[in-house]
Amino acid sequence: MSTFIQTVIVGLRLGSVYALIALGYTMVYGIIRLINFAHGDFIMVGGYTIIFTVPLVLALGLPAWAAVLAAVAVCALVGMGTEIIAYRPVRKKGTNMSALITAIAMSLFLENLAQAIPAIGPNPKVADQIFTAGGFKIGSVTFEYTTVITIVISAVIMIVLYMFTQKTRLGRAMRCVSEDKSAATLMGINVNHTIILTFAIGSALAAVAALMYMAQYPRIYTTLGSDLGIKAFVSAVLGGIGIIPGAVLGGFVVGLFESFTTSYISSSLADAVVFLILIVVLLLKPAGIMGKNVGEKV
Amino acid sequence: MKNNKTARSYLVNTLVIAAAFILFQVLTGLFGSEGDFKLVLVPSLWQCCYLILLAASLNLVLGFLGQLSLGHCGFMAIGAYTAALISLACERAGVFTDKAGLVYILIIFGCIIAAGLLAAVTGLLVGIPALRLKGDYLAIITLGFGMIIVNVINNLPFCGQDGLSQGSAAASLYKTGLGFGSKAKVTYLWIALVVTILCLTLMFMFVRSKYGRAIRAIKDDEIAASASGINVSSYKVLTFTYSAFFAGVAGALYACANSSLSTSSFAFTNAGILNSTFVVVMVVLGGMGSLTGSIVAAVIMFFVNYQIANGSWVAALPPFLNGVFKYPMLVYAVVLVIVIIFRPRGIFGTYEFSLTRLPEDVKKARARRAAAKAERKEAVSHG
């Protein structure tokens, strides 16, 4: 029984990281109908920023996790830059396919740029301890502080984000643009600003996800983004891409599936199982768990 | 009249290819044992052959059918493992012993065909469910299938370490009945060339047949195509299967050219030249809808990669540039974005090279350039 509970907890922890990343995918997809392949690499950017700023932050006498503020800023800038430099010109001229290929190209670019920078290089780097080590026990189940903090912070962020999109003016503007760009323009919404804002928020979430991930697995490497990103993307599709609560749900489902496969079947099959879920869902209900099927207009 | 023209162009092409082939055989006879020829040129040609097949076969799906598939190397992995394991089984069964002779050549061809067929069957099985989706979803689901294929191969005891259930299941296969050394590569180079030319011919024929026209119609407008009586989903699955076949053949050639196989070399991305993303890059740069473009792009990108990996000029560069050139994907990514922005259909677009049409094409290009020049002049004189 304690193994079962432990597995659930690990699943929730993984799931909350996936959910944070999936939110970025889903928000961008909702607004410009593009799978932002580079989103996974924003996590990597965030991770390296944290690694490089942690000593600085400690020297200032702040706790290590404060480095996430720098990561959030850097990631938001990278996200906005990607949109302005690459996605916007392609969106103006090309088709959906060329936008998708641009996204893949940007992902390759960020990954390989990181490797080409001498301070980063292709070898994994080890991060410092971010949260306090240790934990507490309830019965025979150990709760690590890191795990608890990860789950709680993720939950808070998700609720705040949901309130933001539902209640604030900017959030409403985002939802309008994702529904109908031209109508949104007529209502006086600056579509380009809204898209950039979406990229900034999505990338900032990726930075937070990087912190959570590194708190648990303090090893970071340049292709981390594609490994994590793909699973998060699966979560986003699973829940129904473009739908914010869907991404959260999908994240937790993928996290739980992964942790159960790892502890009950085989850790090397975990990835295959995640994709198997994706394929089953896409075939049975292509719009995702919470999505609605939309017919094609001629 | 038109038939006559087609027949003539087939004749011309066959003759030219045959002449080039004979020339190559003579060259092989002359320089077969010399260092650079044996150690550099021939292995490079092997690599070019499978890269060309890989890029051209993906172009059928990506360029002509207009569907982005990100798991193409999965089919190549299936082809490579099939060829390696069948040949290994034959070797262990004692069908051949010294990797030479007529029987061995027959086995090589048998392996190549079996690799293609198994990849095609997998392509069919993947394609039937996957091609119900399109666009972004298709890209992801093919990515998923590519990863699952690699993952399953990793876990099959059949494909591990020493092959055929000897040794434990692992990501690498060290024993194969193919895996030519540098001398065998020279001896059997003709196999790679013949297979590549045959496959390319089959692809060209496919693209120019009624099936090719149908899939181009699907690319342009799926709804209009189905309204004019094209069975969209069966054509999609057909193309996908056909393309997977050639990816499998490319895999078999890969198994011939490499002494061991590792699943990480067929992944979605990795540090090397052979991964699904790289194939997409080749196809897009060469031109979505131009087999010529894929061939040229595969050869050029192989050459560039080779130069970056082995060229002495790279080492002579200042250190900060050195880092950039150590990761050629960085350069390709930038080039890819630029090409997509300025030439959304790739460098060659849908242009196909043709020997019989070459004079016409040159004339047309000249006329176009002259017209552009005249226009510029006029614009200047009008102020």
Q: Taking the domains of chain A in order of start, what are their residue ranges?
A: 2-284
- Which residue would you say has higher pLDDT here, B329 or A30? A30
- Whether residue B147 and residue A268 make contact (CB cut-off 8 A), yes or no, is no
CA–CA distance, A87 with A79 (Å, rounded to integer): 11
CA angle, corner A197, sides to A194 and A199, nearest 5?
A: 115
B336: contact with A, CB 8 A cutoff: yes
- Reply yes or no on whether the pLDDT at A42 is more than 90: yes
- Reply yes or no on whether the pLDDT at B217 is more than 90: yes
SS (H, E, C) B212-280: HHHHHHHHHCHHHHHHCCCCHHHHHHHHHHHHHHHHHHHHHHHHHHCCCEEHHHHCCCCCCCCCHHHHH
B68: contact with A, CB 8 A cutoff: yes
* pLDDT at residue B79 in the model: 93
Mean of the pLDDT values across residues A148-177? 90
> Is there a contact between A134 and A145 (Cβ–Cβ < 8 Å)?
yes
* pLDDT at residue B80 in the model: 92
Q: Which residue has the tokens 């993906």?
A: B58
- Whether residue A100 and residue B135 make contact (CB cut-off 8 A), yes or no, is yes
B152 contacts in chain A (CB < 8 Å): 272
pLDDT band at B254 (very low <50, low <70, confident <90, very high): very high
For the ranges B169-173, B258-262, B286-290, the maximum mean pLDDT occurs at B286-290
Q: Indicate which of A39, A85, A112 best probes the interface with B, i.e. most B CBs within 10 Å of its own CB.
A: A112
For the ranges A85-89, B42-46, B118-122, the maximum mean pLDDT occurs at B118-122
- Reply yes or no on whether the pLDDT at B131 is more than 90: no
B137: contact with A, CB 8 A cutoff: yes
- Reply yes or no on whether the pLDDT at B177 is more than 90: no
- Whether residue B140 and residue A113 make contact (CB cut-off 8 A), yes or no, is no
Q: Indicate which of A25, A39, A104 best probes the interface with B, i.e. most B CBs within 10 Å of its own CB.
A: A104
Query: Percent of chain A beyond pLDDT 70?
Result: 97
Domain range list for chain B: 14-267
B281 contacts in chain A (CB < 8 Å): 105, 108
Comparing CA positions, the residue from A205, A68, A77 lying closest to residue A130 is A68
Residue B35 CB coordination number (10 Å): 9
The tens digit of pLDDT for each residue in A114-153 reads 888 877 877 788 877 777 777 777 777 778 888 888 889 8
A286 contacts in chain B (CB < 8 Å): 132-133, 137
Q: Which residues contact B6 (CB under 8 A, 6 or more apart)?
A: none
B10: contact with A, CB 8 A cutoff: no
B148: contact with A, CB 8 A cutoff: yes
Q: Indicate which of A33, A222, A279, A298 best probes the interface with B, i.e. most B CBs within 10 Å of its own CB.
A: A279
Q: Which residue has the tokens 């850790």?
A: A267
The tens digit of pLDDT for each residue in B120-130 reads 999 999 898 88
CA–CA distance, B326 with B309 (Å, rounded to integer): 7
- Reply yes or no on whether the pLDDT at B324 is more than 80: no
- Whether residue A105 and residue B326 make contact (CB cut-off 8 A), yes or no, is no
B281: contact with A, CB 8 A cutoff: yes
- Four-way CATH pick for A2-284: 1.10.3470, 1.10.287, 2.60.120, 1.10.10: 1.10.3470
Of A108-117, B35-44, B50-59, where does mean pLDDT reach its minimum?
Answer: B35-44
Of A65-69, A201-205, B245-249, B325-329, where does mean pLDDT reach its minimum?
Answer: B325-329
* pLDDT at residue A99 in the model: 87
- Reply yes or no on whether the pLDDT at B138 is more than 90: no
Of A61-65, A156-160, B204-208, B357-361, where does mean pLDDT reach its minimum?
Answer: B357-361
B340: contact with A, CB 8 A cutoff: yes
B155: contact with A, CB 8 A cutoff: yes
- Reply yes or no on whether the pLDDT at A18 is more than 80: yes
Kindly state the tokens that stand for B23.
């020339």
- Whether residue A97 and residue B135 make contact (CB cut-off 8 A), yes or no, is yes
- Whether residue B271 and residue A122 make contact (CB cut-off 8 A), yes or no, is yes
> Is there a contact between B63 and B287 (Cβ–Cβ < 8 Å)?
yes
* pLDDT at residue B323 in the model: 62
B156: contact with A, CB 8 A cutoff: no
pLDDT band at A295 (very low <50, low <70, confident <90, very high): low
- Reply yes or no on whether the pLDDT at A298 is more than 90: no
CA–CA distance, B282 with A268 (Å, rounded to integer): 31
- Which residue would you say has higher pLDDT here, A255 or B17? A255
pLDDT band at A72 (very low <50, low <70, confident <90, very high): very high
CA-only gyration radius of chain A, Å: 19
- Whether residue A101 and residue B140 make contact (CB cut-off 8 A), yes or no, is no
Q: How far is CA A270 from CA A253, A262, B158, B276, B380, in A?
A: 13, 6, 20, 21, 66
- Nearest-Cα distance to chain B for A106, in Å, is 7
